[in-house]
Amino acid sequence: MGKGDQRSRRGKIQVGSFGNLRPRKKTKAVTAEQIAAGAAAKKAAPKKAAKKAAK
């Protein structure tokens, strides 16, 4: 039991596989409304005024 054993958690980490001992992390689904809200927030962000160099 150890790194070479595919039935153990450590073995699955070593090999890079998943199973009951090492379940995958579930990702959250992103809706179209959330994407639109993010894009609108980006557009509404105020731009910084460029400073002119005084010489």
The reported pLDDT for the residue numbered 55 is 63
The reported pLDDT for the residue numbered 46 is 62
User: Which tokens belong to 38?
Assistant: 């993010």
Record the pTM. 0.42
The reported pLDDT for the residue numbered 36 is 82
Per-residue pLDDT of the chain (55 residues; tens, 9 = 90+): 788 888 888 999 999 999 888 888 888 887 888 888 877 777 665 666 667 776 6
